Amino acid sequence: MPKWQCITGCGACCRLDPALRQEALEALSPVQRQTYLALVGDDGWCRHFDTGSRRCRIYSERPDFCQVSNLVNLFAPEGLGSAAGEAFAIDCCTQQIRSEYGGRGKVMKRFLRANGRRR
């Protein structure tokens, strides 16, 4: 069974542009939403995302909604088991990577390989 894992040099989830991420904003509490909006830079990317290295500068201290382990709690239907939760997280990341970098690029290929999916 595939298990979700982040890959280095991606950062697709760091694109926080509210115009592109309404579903994310709607899933957050008012306090989380305020934090989220404070993180958005002028270019739509998180202020803490280094676009050159594609790394988060505050990874170990990032907000709870930036942690993929919380995707299931924020977006998935209630009662989703752990295996289905892993698949859900992989699908969320796959969708975001496709949106930012395209479906056939190197980032997508590395992500799918790392997460036990072939393309």
Q: What is the mean pLDDT of residues 68-91?
A: 77
Tell me the pTM.
Answer: 0.83
Reduced 3-state DSSP string for the chain? CCCCCCCCCCCHHHECCCCCCHHHHHHCCHHHHHHHHHHECCCCEECCEECCCCEECCHHHCCHHHCHHHHHHHHCCCCCCHHHHHHHHHHHHHHHHHHHHCCCCHHHHHHHHHCCCCC
Q: What is the pLDDT of residues 1-36, one digit of tens each?
A: 778 888 999 999 999 999 999 988 998 999 999 999
Domain ranges for the chain: 12-114
Query: What pLDDT score was predicted for residue 54?
Result: 92
Confidence of residue 81 (pLDDT cuts 50, 70, 90): confident
Confidence of residue 118 (pLDDT cuts 50, 70, 90): low
Residue 117 has pLDDT above 80, yes or no: no
Query: What pLDDT score was predicted for residue 119?
Result: 54
